[in-house]
Structure 1
Amino acid sequence: MARLNPLCAAALIGAMPLVASCAPAGSADAGAAALTPKQSRTLDKYLAGKVAGEPVRCLPHYASADTIRVSDDILLYRQGSRIVYRNDLKGRCPGLARDSDIMVVRQFGTQTCSGDFFHLVDRGSGIRGPTCVFGDFIPYRKPAGDEG
């Protein structure tokens, strides 16, 4: 059996906390980060009393004007008081939840679609951050006859 060089062993042991910190927090969805209590309250605030519909691939520009950042992998687009679109990004977008960076969306045409990407730009320095990818848009609507 081959022996591990003591220097390599020390480097591996020292790197273990870094590797472990890359693992996602516990969640029902594999690979998704768990929401903080504040993020859960935000999600509940905008989706409470609404019913999820069939996912749509694209949103017209006018429907994506009111953006709410829930977490590093969830965005909401509010269209009036009756419809909110939830977008679970295709992977995490580190720093999105801070809500301090500017979202620069690359749009091709008159819609924002699943698979389109955006990146974050630091408001103070102008340094470009991560590139992130939209998922499908799930509409949440108030049920018919619900005036609340």
Structure 2
Amino acid sequence: MKHALPLAIAATLLAAPAIADETADKPSAGELELAELLAGRVAGEPVRCLRAGQRDGLRVIDSTALVFRDGRTLYVNRPRNAQFLDEWDVPVFRQFTSSLCELDQVEMRDRTSLMGGPVLVLDEFVPYTKPAKEEA
């Protein structure tokens, strides 16, 4: 009986990698939401900055990305420490020029108290557009 506990612990430790492998293959809810949003779109060359007119709409995708809309183009930014993105927080951008650029910071603030939260650093912006329809 005194050997039962060590055996149970050993069995748990041996099963842990199999459980981790199963969950590692499954995309997160944020990745699924982003994939759905980008369905039918093609990625373009990344850009370092967005002008004010290129950021009309903003969508925060939990633990994944910030998505900016410019007409028919969606710009996806996967900031460093994206795991702290929460759609219920208010992003406050700290930019160093009139454009929003790679390496600028965004502080996520609580929507109700406006208390400061994690600060994330922006990465490059990847544009996604729908391909032009080919005429027959």
Alignment pair present for 1:43 and 2:34: yes
Alignment of 1:1-148 (within 5 A): 26=24, 34-36=27-29, 39-80=30-71, 82-94=72-84, 96-97=85-86, 99-145=87-133
Deviations 1:36-87 (A, max 9, x none): 2xx344213321111101111001112123111122231111112x211111
Structure 1 residues 52 and 118, CA gap change in structure 2 (3 angstroms): same
Give the number of the structure whose residues are more often helix, by fraction: 2
CA separation of 1:105 and 1:27: change in aligned 2, threshold 3 A: farther
Aligned length: 112
Q: Is the alpha carbon distance of 1:92 and 1:27 closer, same or farther for their aligned partners in structure 2, counting shifts above 3 Å?
A: farther
Question: Which ranges in structure 1 are unaligned for 5 or more consecutive residues?
Answer: 1-24, 29-33
d(CA) in 1 for partners of 2:25, 2:100 = 28
The 1-side partners of 2:32 and 2:24 are apart by 18
2:73 maps to a residue whose letter is I
Fraction of identical pairs, as percent = 35
1:27 is displaced (CA, Å) by: 6.2
* Deviation (angstroms), 1:137: 0.3
Aligned CA distance change for structure 1 residues 68 and 109 (closer, same or farther; 3 Å): same
Give the 4+ runs in structure 1 shifted more than 2 A. 25-28, 39-42
TM-score (norm 1): 0.66
Instruction: Give the whole-Å Cα distance in 2 for the aligned partners of 1:124 and 1:71.
Output: 18
Kept after mapping to 1: 8 A contact 2:31/2:64: no
